[in-house]
């Protein structure tokens, strides 16, 4: 009988070793994380929040974070949940005891961190959304576009963003951000 345990796929970062940007906006690849796409009706939010150890946000453009775990509101019944400690999110929500849909998208997504005084300008090089602190405060999140790629933005600090994208778009997104970050430094 074959030993299939040795043939398990390992997750690799699509932009391994990538760093870029300028003095105004630095770019780096976020560390590996687990992610789920979570869908549920409003009556399941409390139980799922308890199972995840953070309150699922219920207002547009909001997020919640606790112990390296982030829940980003993407729609009235949809969240992107990211665990930077690579916790087992699927098991956590499975134990909630409520009706929901959860899909592990850890291998599909990657993230680029954009930091510095020119971070907003670098992202706005391809994103039409108003990213001023007034319109997009710390903790704000949004599914939007960066040129021709769909991304999810999370503002993590006054001058820092997490840009989530599909790994197949990562070279395109990182190249566009790198060029815009260089322009932001001029």
Q: Check residue 10 and give its pLDDT.
A: 56
Q: Is the pLDDT of residue 8 over 60?
A: no
pLDDT score of 12: 54
- Would you state the pLDDT for residue 24? 84
* Statement: residue 9 has pLDDT above 80: no
Q: Report residue 57 CA to chain centroid gap.
A: 15
Q: For 134-177, write each residue's pLDDT tens digit.
A: 999 999 999 999 999 999 999 999 999 999 999 999 999 999 99
Listed in order, strand segments (DSSP E) in 86-140 are 101-104, 109-115
User: Greater confidence, 86 or 4?
Assistant: 86
Look up the pTM and report it. 0.88
Burial (CB count <10 Å: 0-12, 13-18, 19+), residue 66: exposed
The predicted pLDDT at position 91 comes to 97
Q: Which residues share a beta bridge with 142?
A: 153
Question: pLDDT tens-digit profile of 10-57?
Answer: 555 556 555 566 788 999 999 999 999 999 999 999 999 999 999 999
pLDDT for residue 2 is more than 70:
no
Taking the C-alpha atoms of residue 21 and residue 115, their distance in angstroms, rounded to an integer, is 9
């Amino acid at each position: 009988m074959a030993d299939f345990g040795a043939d398990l796929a390992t997750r690799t970062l699509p932009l391994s070793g990538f760093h870029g940007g300028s003095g105004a906006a630095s770019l780096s690849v976020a560390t590996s994380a687990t992610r789920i796409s979570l869908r549920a009706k409003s009556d399941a939010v409390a139980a799922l929040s308890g199972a995840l150890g953070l309150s699922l946000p219920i207002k547009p453009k909001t997020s919640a974070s606790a112990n390296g775990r982030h829940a980003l509101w993407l729609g009235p019944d949809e969240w992107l949940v990211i665990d930077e400690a690579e916790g087992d999110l699927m098991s956590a929500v499975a134990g909630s005891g409520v009706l929901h849909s959860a899909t592990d998208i850890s291998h599909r997504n990657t993230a680029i961190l954009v930091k510095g005084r020119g971070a907003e300008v670098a992202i706005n090089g391809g994103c039409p959304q108003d990213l001023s602190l007034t319109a997009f405060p710390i903790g704000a999140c949004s599914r939007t576009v960066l040129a021709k790629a769909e991304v999810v933005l999370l503002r993590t600090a006054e001058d820092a963003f997490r840009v989530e994208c599909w790994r197949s778009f990562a070279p395109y997104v990182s190249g566009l951000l790198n060029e815009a970050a260089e322009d932001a430094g001029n």
